[in-house]
Structure formats: structure tokens, C-alpha cells
Amino acid sequence: MNATETQQAIDARDTVIIYSGGMDSYTLLREELSKGRLHSSLSFNYGQRHLRELNCVARVCSQFSLPFSFIDLRAVAAVAMHRSVLTVTQRDIPVGHYAADNMKETVVPNRNMIMLSIAIAYAVSHQLKRVVFGAHAGDHTIYPDCRPEFVQTMRVLAQQANWHPIELEAPYLHFTKGEILLQGMTFGVEREDYKDTWTCYKGDSTHACGVCGSCTERLEAFASVGWTDPIPYLPKGK
């Protein structure tokens, strides 16, 4: 690349991603990197039970030389985002499939609106054009702020809220987790790449539990494409 081409490549980086460290946003990060549009990554700590997924963020962003920021929302969460099992360690994480009613206990009040509003502010501050995030079809039944109608209203708001309009995109909104893996394959993501992703809601520092709603859906997704998940799982019944 000559100097002009280098500058054009930098100018093309018009997108910030909300990156949780999980498999969905990891795949989206790889897709945006493959298009040359990714400017940087934003991650949030709202008092999740463990920071294993944030370690994945740091490792992956370093691997791809992508600037990344962590935003600590624990003070906000303490005042305004409580009553959720995800941030209350005294209660048990429900096990089983996401569709089950008890999974509603994992909902953090207004989480996506808060994260998206900060990501939009970030995009305005850095004069970017786009915010992308990895909401997918499996989330709809349990998380109201992953439903298509929420995302559509948020897209309108992102155009109105600042003099600098921001495009909001959730390209996997109608994909299952299995379809997200298939999508990743089309731009070269391999099975082993997912070793640096973390989905489990439980707290073991080295092994996923294999039984929480998040693990259940992840394992079904890998099985659906004929892959073995490359991360370590606790033996069944532990």
C-alpha cells in the first residue's frame, strides 16, 4: 500500500462493535474485520459474575490489533440495573433451555438500550458511521431488548438523537447460533478460532458448565454444524 491507499483504508474504518467476548459477537467482529470497516471495539462490565469473557475480548482484539475499550457500568448497575440473577451472586443461575420461563431471571433491566446508547455516543464522539452488535434469533423469547421491534425503533432513534446520524445494525438478528457459525465459515472463521470465546454464565475460571441456558444453546449450535466446541467443559453432573 502506498500512503494514499493506507489513508483510504483508515478512512474506511467507520464502525464500532459491541463485543461481549461470546461466540456471536466474535463472529460479527471477524465479519467486520474481513470487510475492513472495523474502527474499534467496546465492551461493558455491568457486574457479570466473572470476567472470563472480558479476557477473551482483550486477547482477540490484541490478536487483530483492534483498539478496544472497557466501560465499567458497575456503579450504574448498582443503582439502576439490579433484580437480575446475572448480577446477584447469591442466587443460582437457572439451568436448561433459554425458552424456559425461568430464563427470564437472567434479564438485566434495559441492558441493551444502555449499551447501545453509549456505543452511539462513542460513534458520534469518534465521527464514525456505524454501530454493530450481535443480537440473534435465539435471544428473542427471553430478552425483550433483542427483539426485531426493539432494534428497529433503536435504529430510528440512532438517526435522530444527534446532529451526526448513526447507522445501527444487528446483522444476525434473524440467525440462530448455528447459522452464525455457518456465516462465519463463509469468511474463513475456523472451529479452533472459537477457543477464544466464552459464553457460559457460570463462574469456573477454566471450564464452561455445559448446562446453563447459554451453554445449552452453544453446544446445540456446534452440534448442528458438525463441529466439536473447542473450549473445555466440566464433566456432566459437576
Q: Which residues bind its own copies (CB under 8 A)?
A: 42, 69, 71-73, 75-76, 79-83, 104, 107, 109-114, 116-122, 124-125, 144-145, 147, 149-150, 153-154, 156-157, 160-163
82 within 8 A of 88, measured Cβ to Cβ: yes
First to last CA, the chain: 53
Query: Measured from the CB atom, is 120 or 221 closer to its own copies?
Result: 120
In the complex, the smallest distance separating the C-beta of residue 129 from its own copies, rounded to whole angstroms, is 14
The sign of the dihedral angle between the CA atoms of 23, 222, 173, 39 is: positive
Query: Measured from the CB atom, is 33 or 107 closer to its own copies?
Result: 107
Element (H, E) at 222: helix 213-224
In the complex, the smallest distance separating the C-beta of residue 157 from its own copies, rounded to whole angstroms, is 5
- Output DSSP code: residue 22: S
Query: Measured from the CB atom, is 164 or 195 closer to its own copies?
Result: 164
In the complex, the smallest distance separating the C-beta of residue 159 from its own copies, rounded to whole angstroms, is 9
In the complex, the smallest distance separating the C-beta of residue 111 from its own copies, rounded to whole angstroms, is 8
| Beta-carbon contacts of residue 13 (< 8 Å; ≥ 6 apart) | 36, 37, 38, 39
Q: What cell numbers appear for 102 in the block?
A: 425461568
Query: Measured from the CB atom, is 122 or 175 closer to its own copies?
Result: 122
